[in-house]
Amino acid sequence: MKINKSLIFLCFVILLVDSTVFAQSLTNKPVFETNSIKVVTNDKFPQDLESEIFVGPKGSPYFYAEGKRSELHAATIEMSADGSTSISAVQKEGETNSYALCLFSYDAAGKVVFLVDLNMDGVWDVKRTPTSEQKNFIFLDNHWVAVARIDRLISSNPTAEGLGIRYEFHNGWKTVK
């Protein structure tokens, strides 16, 4: 089962922001192009940092960035031609220099998996599996714990809840007493 870029983007918006977002398409304004590199920016660049960098032939991994003025909001690397695997650094809500690392991919059964490293320490803190029966997990005490919900995922204080237990993220998931 393949996923196209539109579905991944839609899942990304739903999973991270949990609100309605109206996407604006990139105005394809090439600023540099050779046989192996192409740089495309928004027509308002550098005030609008939306841009893409293509390295290699069509279907190769490419880079995408968005933000306003000198503040980068998100940077993504599309690893596959069909957009089914991508990794992004997304700016946390209300913070200027704090990011979460996000990975979209597939598990061994071919189901979509969304992983998040909330403090960019190299450990995935959240796993969401929107195409599986159990959908939300947090990494607590070196193992995945199923939870019913995860809120404020890209805020400075994410929370989770499952089986009547509430969790908060402070450089790692902690049970709230």
pLDDT of residue 152 exceeding 90: yes
Query: Contact, 92 vs 80, CB < 8 A?
Result: no
Of the candidates 122, 84, 76, 78, the one whose C-alpha atom is nearest the C-alpha of residue 8 is 84
Q: Tell me what percent of the residues of the chain surpass a pLDDT of 90.
A: 29
Q: CB neighbours of 126 closer than 8 A, spacing ≥ 6?
A: 114, 115, 116, 118, 136, 137, 138, 139, 150, 153, 158
pLDDT at 81: 63
pLDDT of residue 141 exceeding 80: yes
Mean per-residue pLDDT, 104-132: 89
Burial class (CB in 10 A: 0-12, 13-18, 19+), 95: exposed
Q: CA 138 to CA 172: how far, in whole Å?
A: 10
Query: Contact, 76 vs 91, CB < 8 A?
Result: no
Mean per-residue pLDDT, 149-158: 92
Looking up tokens 């089962």 gives 1
Q: Tell me what percent of the residues of the chain surpass a pLDDT of 70.
A: 79
Mean per-residue pLDDT, 136-145: 96
ω into 30 cis (within 30 of 0)? no
12-70 per-position pLDDT tens digit:
433 333 322 223 344 567 777 777 777 888 888 777 878 887 777 766 777 778 888 76
Q: What mean pLDDT value characterizes the chain?
A: 77
Output phi, psi for 32, to 5 deg.
-160, 135
Burial class (CB in 10 A: 0-12, 13-18, 19+), 142: exposed
pLDDT of residue 145 exceeding 80: yes
Please tell me whether residue 94 adopts helix, strand or coil conformation: coil
pLDDT at 130: 86
pLDDT at 27: 54
Query: Contact, 74 vs 67, CB < 8 A?
Result: yes
Task: Choose the weakest-confidence range: 64-73, 112-121, 147-156.
Answer: 64-73
Q: CA 158 to CA 13: how far, in whole Å?
A: 16
81-100 per-position pLDDT tens digit:
666 788 888 888 877 678 89
Q: For the chain, how many helices (H) and strands (E)? A: 1, 15
